[in-house]
A and B are shown apart, each in its own frame.
Chain A
Amino acid sequence: MLQALHKTGLVFFPAFDWAIDPTHPEREERLLYTQDQVTEEGVFDISGIIEYKPELVTNQDIRRAHFCVPDEKTVTTQSHLISAGGAKAIADAVLNKEVKNGFALVRPPGHHSMRISHGGRGFCHINMEAIMVEYIRSQYGIKKIAVIDTDCHHGDGTNDIFWHDPDVLFISLHQDGRTLYPGSGFPDELGGPNAKGSNLNIPLPPGTSTEGYLYVIRNCVLPILKEFQPDLIVNSAGQDNHYTDPLTNMNFSAQGYAKLTSLLKPDIAVLEGGYSIEGALPYVNLGIILAMAGLDYSGVVEPDYNPERLKQSVSITDKIKKTTDLINSYWNQRDKLRQRAGSVGDLQVRHREIFYDTDNIFERQKEKVRVCRDCGGCFEIDSTATPGPHILAVHIPINACKSCIEAGYRFFDQADKSKFDKVFLQDRTKDTYEIK
């Protein structure tokens, strides 16, 4: 009789009746073979593995992490609410200490959704991890959280949501943005002036294999986590680094994923992408579940796995080592970088253009953030979507200092209603959301 080393919670929500469109890779069938493998292995019968039912996230939950334009109902479907609700259910189980850790195997994914969401980009409409992290901070008063995104695509949505937040350490490992969607996530993208170095982007060359991934985990991610000392570790567990994934060019394996999970020891893992639904997902997900439960995963090997064929070249190994050194040096200089980023009270302006590939929307943003040493700093974003409305969104961070709270309300009060379709205020200190 199998007994998990520690209690592990699972939410399994394959949304068997939902797809973006009939031939889209993010489709009904995506978790079908995973379900088959997990069921056939009798995973839900293992003593210590507990299956939870997802909840529906509420508008209040979404409004902690997002400004949905024009509103939550338009941007999301029931499936998104359940998917994010799966992550939330796991968070409750972990934080109420019913289980030691948990894994939300849910779809659709979310890590390309940014703070302002006009619709779908990269198959994502709302960001499950960000909604969960903000829920945890409001509900359980936890301060420091690390989000490690191991999806093959840069987790640009999560990166955007925590860009100015020094209390959330966001690290993304992904295939080099010059070769893959969304084309971002370079090492010098370190976060806003108040949070430089708490966003770390580690691009990996195409062809990176298990060896390269585990090198980065051991020599970069783990030492940084040790120094940051988060109260909670979240893993955005995308599975498209696999050597059989049709959308990417990496050489990761089920054994590698399981090993990565046992090194990283996430409190909560949330499934993101992964489109090799027959050859990879069944084995990778099983490996992750067993690793989280502290069970032997040595037998979880793809039928066609050949480590010799997947070996990475010496030049790739060198490149990865160089990137790792660079990231470590940025991390070590983070205080200095923040000092240099500007003087307290300044408003720093950033212009951005964002393309929503799933819904074909083009967005222009002008962001103003208050430089602050005591908190993440309040900011306002002027956003125009084509097609779509023109809005102003004001954010006051959860641990905001008095000056930033006041500045945030000034942004909101002074906004000229006639210039915008809607003006939003997200005051995380009071957990409120206002629209004018």
Chain B
Amino acid sequence: MIIGIDVGGTHTDAVLLRNNGIEKRIKVPTDSADLFNTILSGFTQLLDNIDPKEIERVVISTTLTTNAIVQQDMDPVGMIVSAGPGIDPEVFRTGEHYYCVAGSINHRGREKAPVNTMEIEDIAKKLKKAGIEYVGVVGKFCVRNPSHEILIKRMINKHFKKVFLGYQVSGNLNFPRRIATTHLNTAVFSLHKSFFEAVKQSLEEMGLTAPIQILKADGGTMTLESSMSFPGQTVLSGPAASIMGAIPYAPANQDAIVLDIGGTTTDISFLVDKAPLLEPVGIKRGQYKSLIRSLRTDSKGVGGDSVIRVIDKELVIGPDRHGPAMAFGGPDPTPTDALFVLGLMNEGDQKNAQKGIGKIAQKLNLTDKEAADQIFKKCCSIILKKAFEMIDKLNAQPVYTVHEFLEGYKISPRKILLLGRPAPYFAKKIKELYHIETDVVPEFSVANAIGAALARTTCEVSLYADTEQGIVTAHEEDFAESISKTYSDDDLIETAYTLLKEKAISSGADPDDLDEVEVVEFQKFNIVRNFSPRGKIFRTKAQLKPGLIKGFEKVLQ
């Protein structure tokens, strides 16, 4: 049996699955001030009358890190940043203890200026004096040559509890995002560690000894142990859980939109041939940009509990939520109340809902029913408009080769999958308004927990080979090997798959899932100097795709 638990903003959903069906599903309110007890009460209810020895797998998705970022409740940590030529790194300051230091590596990984060891020692002293326990070290182009980061770590390691290095975060280039991501890992580490150690201990006390997996933003899982190096990867795992829950119902060889309609917001994402679309570089939310691999999701401030207003005779929905719908004792009229007026929902206070929508109707000079219908339509159109905007943006994404330009894949979804409490009502309306096949995901209210439970381990490796310099590297994996002039495409891809599989196993992947690997990027260049070829540069990225583990297909029938 496996357990999936998704701690959301308002509710925590948990499921216990057997390979032939859902054994138990529960929903408990989330106490954001005490997530530990929220999770524990979820487990206690799930394990009631169940032998914990039967549990083979546990996957947890939490808002722990997300909350820490939102509430700016992170530990003060030290950052040592070396930039070399370019934009002033001071612009990317993460906090008080942020030091820009000498040293420079160029775009091909060649050292252009050395590390100043006196300067580093001096900074280490200052950080120690300030009581700093964790330090992040980030260099520009460290993914091409991490030697400066490694040297700095070696120098300061003994003074601090843990030192995080930028090159281990991602194989992608993007110095500002690398700084932000390394800072995040460094700053949430102690919170993440103490929380999950407590969870692990409590579960062990209950007799539950199966390995714990943590859900990441890319819809994959990692072991608790590997999460300790990259705790930042757990942000926004909530939307990822929902999308994973929709995968079984997505059409093969076609594109689909997934809409998760919550209380305050609706999360929008896409599946292409049952595989979720990923962000090209990393999570982006407003001003916050990172290198954290993530599913491509965005949200719109329209949900079942969004406040409805009339401004200048115009209906305005959301983006805020002031509590539940009036039908459930809330203060303001909401789309859920409109569903009551339309007679679609009835388990609540019909009168209150009527009263709220009545006020809106009056301002719009409409009957209650007309107003409710307009509200409902407007919700659908706002959400769909946002989804179509996202598709346009995806299809307008720049490409860098003639081949990609001419062969560019265009996303054109033929199906919408809905999750969330009001999903069934919205499905009907969207179908009626847009004539797109719209299905409600079965078990839509706990599909997120099912998604978490069944998500498989994901990982990615980036390789860089340069036959002029005679080396192939995957610095993120601490891999470097010398190569000859005759090194080929096939050699590179073989090495990539070998590294990827090793990484997957050590992150907790099931050996059965290792065939779900693919090359996501491949580039090859001739190095030409003075009209003669000097060698080749190869770059590739391979990934273990996000998807569901095998053996539980029946659960979903």
The residues of B that contact A47 with a CB separation of less than 8 Å are 287
Q: Is A290 an interface residue (CB 8 A)?
A: yes
Query: Which of B173-181, B311-319, B431-439 participates in binding chain A?
Result: B173-181
Q: Is the CB of A40 within 8 A of B400?
A: no
Q: Which residues B157-187 have CB closer than 8 A to chain A?
A: 173-177
The interface residues of chain A lying within 8 Å CB-to-CB of B177 are: 42, 45
Q: Given A13-B400, A33-B107, A39-B174, are A1 and B87 also a contact pair (CB < 8 Å)?
A: no
A23 and B107 contact, CB distance less than 8 A:
no
Q: Is the CB of A51 within 8 A of B398?
A: yes
Known: A41-B87, A299-B87, A300-B86. A28 touches B525 (CB 8 A): yes
Whether the pair B405, A82 counts as a contact (CB closer than 8 A) is yes
Residue of A nearest to B530 (CB): A246
A25–B141 alpha-carbon span in the complex (Å): 25
Contact at B405–A54, with CB atoms within 8 Å?
yes
CB pair B91 A29 closer than 8 Å: no
Most buried by B among A18, A37, A47: A37
**Binding stretch for chain A, among B67-75, B125-133, B223-231, B531-539:** B531-539
Q: Tell me how far the C-beta of B85 lies from the nearest C-beta in chain A, rounded to whole angstroms.
A: 5
- Interface check A387, CB cutoff 8 A: no
A53 at the B interface (CB under 8 A)? yes
B118 interface contact, C-beta 8 A? no
Q: B86, A24: Cβ atoms under 8 Å?
A: no
Among B72-122, those with CB < 8 Å from A are 83-88, 91, 104, 106-108, 112-113
Chain B residue numbers with a CB within 8 Å of A298 are 88
Q: Please tell me if A282 contacts chain B, counting CB pairs below 8 Å.
A: yes
Check: B482 CB closer than 8 A to any chain A CB: no
A45 / chain B contacts, CB cutoff of 8 Å? 174, 176-177, 289
- B window 387-442: CB within 8 A of A: 396-403, 405-406
Interface residues of A in 9-39 (CB under 8 A from B): 11-19, 22-25, 27-29, 32-33, 35-37, 39
Q: Would you call A23 and B87 a contact (CB within 8 A)? A: no
CB pair B108–A40 under 8 Å, yes or no, is: no
A141 to chain B, nearest CB (A): 27
Give A400 to B56 CA distance when docked, in angstroms.
Answer: 82
Query: Residue B505 at the A interface, CB < 8 A?
Result: no
Judged by a CB distance under 8 angstroms, whether A92 is at the interface is: no
Q: Across the interface, which residues of A come within 8 angstroms of B84, CB to CB? A: 303
Bound-state CA distance A82–B175 (Å) is: 29
CB within 8 Å of A: which B505-537 residues: 523, 525-528, 530-533, 537
Q: Is B545 an interface residue (CB 8 A)?
A: no
Which residues of chain A come closer than 8 Å to B274, judged between CB atoms?
Answer: none
**B153 close to chain A: CB less than 8 A:** no
Q: Is the CB of B173 within 8 A of A39?
A: yes
Given contacts A40-B174, A303-B104, contact A32 B406 (CB under 8 A): no
Instruction: Pick the contact of A53: B107, B396, B537 (CB < 8 A).
Output: B396
The answer to whether A409 has its CB under 8 Å from any CB of chain B is no
Query: Smallest Cβ distance from A79 to chain B, in angstroms?
Result: 5
CB proximity to A under 8 Å, residues B359-412:
396-403, 405-406
Question: How many whole Å from A92's CB to the nearest CB in chain B?
Answer: 13
Q: Is B86's CB under 8 angstroms from A41's CB? A: yes
Give Cα A79–Cα B176 distance, bound, in whole angstroms. Answer: 32
Residues in A whose Cβ lies below 8 Å from that of B85: 283, 299-303
Q: Are A296 and B398 in contact (CB under 8 A)?
A: no
Within 8 A of B (CB), among A261-308: 278, 282-283, 286, 290, 295-296, 298-304
Residues of A within 8 A of B402 (CB): 15, 17-18, 78-79, 82
Does A282 lie within 8 Å of B400, measured CB to CB? no
Q: Smallest distance from the beta carbon of A242 to chain B beta carbons, Å?
A: 14
Chain A positions within 8 Å of B406 at CB level: 78
Q: Give the interface SS of chain A, mostly helix, strand, loop or mixed.
A: loop
Are A303 and B113 in touch, CB under 8 angstroms?
Answer: yes
B528: contacting residue among A14, A16, A23, CB under 8 A: A23
A306 and B403 CA atoms in complex are apart in Å by 41
- CB closest residue in chain A, given B111: A303
Determine if A52 is an interface residue (Cβ-Cβ < 8 Å).
yes
**A51 to B107 Cα, complex, angstroms:** 22
A314 at the interface (CB under 8 A from B): no
- Nearest CB of chain A from residue B108's CB, rounded to whole Å: 7
A52→B398 contact, CB < 8 A = yes
| Residue with the greatest number of chain B CB neighbours at <10 A, chosen from A16, A47, A82, A302 | A16
For A286, the chain B residues whose CB sits under 8 A away are 86
**A-contact 0/1 string along B531-557, CB 8 Å cutoff:** 111000100000000000000000000
For the complex formed, measure the closest distance between the CB of B441 and the CB atoms of chain A, giving whole angstroms: 34
A contact residues, range: 35 or more
Q: Does A2 contact B (CB under 8 A)?
A: yes
How many B residues are at the interface, by size bracket?
35 or more
Report B-chain residues with C-beta under 8 Å of the C-beta of A18.
401-402
Complex contacts, A295 vs chain B, CB 8 Å: 87
Chain B residues with CB under 8 Å of A17's CB are: 401-403
The distance in angstroms between the C-alpha atoms of A53 and B398, with both chains bound, is 5
Q: Which residues of A contact B175 (CB under 8 A)?
A: 40-42
Bound form: Cα–Cα A1–B107 in Å: 23
CB nearest to A77 among chain B residues = B402
Query: Given the complex of chains A and B, what is the CA–CA distance between A45 and B397 in angstroms?
Result: 14
**Chain B residue at smallest Cβ distance from A56:** B405
Q: Is the CB of A40 within 8 A of B173?
A: yes
Contact, CB under 8 Å: B399 / A53: yes
Q: Evaluate whether A278 and B107 lie within 8 angstroms (CB atoms) in the complex, with A28-B526, A41-B87, A300-B86 already known.
A: yes
From residue B104, how far is it (CB to closest CB) to chain A in Å?
6
**Highest count of chain A CB atoms <10 Å: which of B86, B176, B402, B533:** B86
Q: CA A283 – CA B405 in complex, angstroms?
A: 27
B88 touches A42 (CB 8 A): no
B25 at interface, CB cutoff 8 A? no
Report chain A residues within 8 Å CB of B293.
none
Contact for B526 among A11, A27, A283, A299, CB less than 8 A: A27
The answer to whether B296 has its CB under 8 Å from any CB of chain A is: no
- Given A39-B173, A286-B86, A303-B85 in contact, is the A53-B397 Cβ separation under 8 Å? yes
Q: Tell me whether B140 is interfacial, beta carbon within 8 Å.
A: yes
Partner of A40, one of B140, B405, B528: B140
Among B106, B399, B405, B531, contact of A303 (Cβ-Cβ < 8 Å): B106
* Nearest CB in chain A: distance from B521 CB, A: 11
Q: Are B86 and A278 in contact (CB under 8 A)?
A: no
Chain A residue numbers with a CB within 8 Å of B287 are 1, 47
Give the CA-CA distance A246 to B532 in the complex, in Å. Answer: 13
In the complex, what residues of B have CB within 8 A of residue A278's CB? 106-108
Question: Are A27 and B528 within 8 A (Cβ)?
Answer: yes
CB-CB under 8 A from A2, the residues of chain B are 87, 91, 176
Smallest Cβ-Cβ distance to B179: which chain A residue: A42
Closest Cβ neighbor of A29 among chain B residues: B525
Q: Which residues of B contact A22 (CB under 8 A)?
A: 526, 528, 533
B residues less than 8 Å from A40 (CB atoms): 86, 107, 140-141, 173-175
Query: What is the CB-to-nearest-CB distance from B392 to chain A, in angstroms, rounded to a whole number?
Result: 11
On whether the beta carbons of A16 and B88 are closer than 8 Å, the reply is no
Interface centre among A2, A17, A25 (most CB of B within 10 A): A17
Q: Is the Cβ of B87 less than 8 Å from the Cβ of A29?
A: no
B2 to chain A, nearest CB (A): 38
Whether B531 pairs with A23 at a CB distance below 8 angstroms is yes
A to B CB contacts below 8 Å, 21 in the list: A1-B91, A13-B398, A15-B401, A17-B402, A22-B528, A23-B533, A28-B526, A32-B525, A35-B400, A40-B175, A41-B175, A42-B87, A42-B175, A53-B396, A53-B399, A246-B530, A295-B87, A296-B88, A300-B85, A302-B85, A303-B112
Q: Which 7 A-B pairs have the closest CB atoms?
A: A303-B112, A42-B176, A36-B107, A40-B173, A17-B401, A29-B525, A39-B173
- 12 new A-B contacts, CB < 8 A, other than A2-B91, A28-B526, A295-B87, are A14-B401, A15-B400, A22-B526, A40-B86, A53-B398, A78-B402, A78-B405, A82-B405, A283-B85, A299-B88, A303-B104, A303-B113
Q: Which residues of A contact B (CB under 8 A)?
A: 1-2, 11-19, 22-25, 27-29, 32-33, 35-37, 39-42, 45, 47, 51-54, 78-79, 82, 246, 278, 282-283, 286, 290, 295-296, 298-304
